[in-house]
Chain A
């Protein structure tokens, strides 16, 4: 998913993350390339285990041993993969911030919220104690936590799930990052809270011109927030495009399957489609296209040869030999 960008932004090329396990070598992220332009929200979509979270962590080299990350991650003209750990630390949390799926486990249970916000400021700004306190309060207000002054001295367990996620966003925003890596930030929340958090992220993008790379398995969330999207399957990107394009005309059978599993309001009542089978294990991926065992369109070629991710229209890419047929079917349906 490559678009021309006037400077800045995130450019990922051939990002690969492998884990050597006792059972063999697993390529969890397999040569991913994608761009996030300034102020853009890009959705990275896929089932559990498709490698989307690891992709996000790989971008800022937050993958633990025995994981090995390679490829190129260009951030504002600098290659994050080649950077020293000390330089990278100045990027993490300052220019590129990250929020996690589970605010309960991502916040340190034994430290007051104030400290968890302020330690980001201590690491990345020259603000003194007083100014840090002021900024922490301001951040709590930005993310919409009521009675912020009092709540700063409370601990994570004293907050509700939605408020905890707001705290995590406040921490991420502390040093005014240019890019937010969001790892399923709404999955653990109930729907009304989810909606509030998504609105907050959109609002922050508008106010601060922040880019967001949004990992989710929820297509409804993608439709509500993202400009462009990339669909991942078994560690690879299989389809990209603007959200409108992909939703209107999916070209990959897997995308088609994902969209078919979302109920639509107003549409005629019909059986929800589900994709037969389960995602493959990453240690022994099938030959050829990784999706072929679950694909209704699969031919001998799919079983022998891996389809490359190819551009077929402006801003549109797909990795499928039969994507024209798939798209035609979608239109007919």
Chain B
């Protein structure tokens, strides 16, 4: 199986990526203005207290030693305690990240459900009325900023029509989905616009391919030709774009969670930045970066599965 070999090699490749993530996070946090001790103690801290805190946090050690402690801590799941909330960072992340994951996952799913059928309709009616309408609508969606789309959806569907809650999070899974629908839709609109542009062009390219004619000459049903021969080939480039977009989507979640008052990782990040809560910023950055590189890993595997020439 060339695919298994490919997966193995690709997983090995993530090791340097993870190392890089650790180094960059470590350096970035130390480059931020201000220092944790004064953030914890306030403006009128005395030097002795600052030194005591620094010693407690290991900040009096040489930088390379600090990095070693840091790496060891990360691998044992110890990301320190939040300065503001006085809770272990790992617990905060475990609590907040699933919300963001659910929001992102739902947005990605909605985007796919919109983009795939619509790009088919647009591509197969190329230049016709459906194509123009679909492309025009998505072009408008694409050119509006996420926070603005979010506010419009809120005003119309939550405030005016009262179909959806204005914000917050649910009590159980179904309630969660209900609460997350508008924010997920907000994220999905811009993502599906990007996906649709790409997939429509890919379908137009594939539909004209010789192997599609050959499939027709074999007397296959239109449905088989469209899914097995057209969609599968067209998806190869779109899958890559989709994977890369997940990173953008996680970034977009920061804004959306703020607009819709969702207690996710994005909101936590904003709060941590305002409060100079270094351990939280650091922990979240690592978690999100790992998540993104895991998404890329998954994207590459799916792509290799779709296109055996990649796994070679």
Contacts and interface: CB of A to CB of B under 8 A. Distances in A.
Interface in A31-63: 57, 60, 62
Contacts of B229: 108, 111
Nearest to B307: A110
B219 A105 contact: no
Contacts of A105: 209-211
Given A91-B219, A123-B219, A107 B211 contact: yes
Contacts of A64: 208
Interface stretch (A76-84, A92-100, A209-217): A92-100
Contacts of A98: 214, 217
Given A100-B214, A119-B228, A109 B233 contact: yes
A295 to B, nearest CB: 35
A123 B221 contact: yes
B220 interface: yes
Contacts of B217: 60, 62, 92-93, 97-98
Contacts of B228: 108, 111, 119
Contacts of A124: 219
A168 to B, nearest CB: 8
B232 interface: yes
A111 to B, nearest CB: 7
B123 to A, nearest CB: 13
Contact of A108 (B215, B219, B312): B215
A107 B219 contact: no
A171 B232 contact: no
A94 B218 CA distance: 7
A89 interface: yes
Interface in A103-138: 105-112, 119-120, 123-124
Given A100-B213, A105-B210, A110 B219 contact: no
Nearest to B308: A155
Given A119-B218, A171-B218, A110 B209 contact: no
A90 interface: yes
A114 to B, nearest CB: 13
Nearest to A168: B214
Contacts of B215: 108, 119
Nearest to B229: A108
B306 interface: yes
B236 interface: yes
Given A100-B210, A119-B228, A155-B308, A110 B233 contact: yes
A97 B217 CA distance: 7
Nearest to A86: B221
Contacts of A109: 211, 233, 307-309
Given A105-B211, A155-B308, A110 B221 contact: no
Contacts of B218: 92-93, 97, 119-120, 123, 171
B216 interface: yes
Contacts of B221: 89, 123
Contacts of A92: 216-219
Contacts of B208: 64
Contacts of B210: 100, 102, 105-106
Given A110-B236, A110-B307, A155-B308, A94 B209 contact: no
Contacts of A62: 213, 216-217
A199 interface: no
Interface string B198-216: 0000000000111101111
What's the interface size class on B, roughly? 20 to 34
B224 interface: yes
Contacts of A60: 217
B108 to A, nearest CB: 23
A157 interface: yes
Interface string B262-301: 0000000000000000000000000000000000000000
A92 B308 CA distance: 29
A297 B73 CA distance: 93
A93 B213 CA distance: 12
B214 A106 contact: yes
Contacts of B214: 98, 100, 106-108, 168, 171
A302 to B, nearest CB: 37
Interface string A186-208: 00000000000000000000000
Interface in A155-193: 155, 157, 168, 171
A89 B219 CA distance: 4
A136 to B, nearest CB: 14
Nearest to B214: A106
A157 B220 contact: no
Counting chain A CB atoms within 10 Å of each CB, the highest count among B208, B221, B308 belongs to B308
A102 B211 CA distance: 10
A129 to B, nearest CB: 16
A105 B212 CA distance: 9
B233 A123 contact: no
Contacts of B219: 89-94, 120, 123-124
Q: Which of B213, B224, B229 has the most CB of A within 10 A?
A: B213
A106 B208 CA distance: 11
Q: Which 8 A-B pairs have the closest CB atoms?
A: A93-B219, A92-B219, A93-B218, A105-B210, A98-B217, A108-B211, A106-B214, A106-B210
Interface of B: 208-211, 213-221, 224, 228-229, 232-233, 236, 306-309, 312
18 contacts: A57-B213, A89-B221, A92-B216, A92-B219, A93-B218, A97-B218, A100-B210, A105-B210, A106-B214, A108-B214, A109-B233, A109-B309, A110-B236, A110-B306, A110-B309, A119-B215, A120-B219, A120-B220
Interface of A: 57, 60, 62, 64, 89-94, 97-98, 100, 102, 105-112, 119-120, 123-124, 155, 157, 168, 171
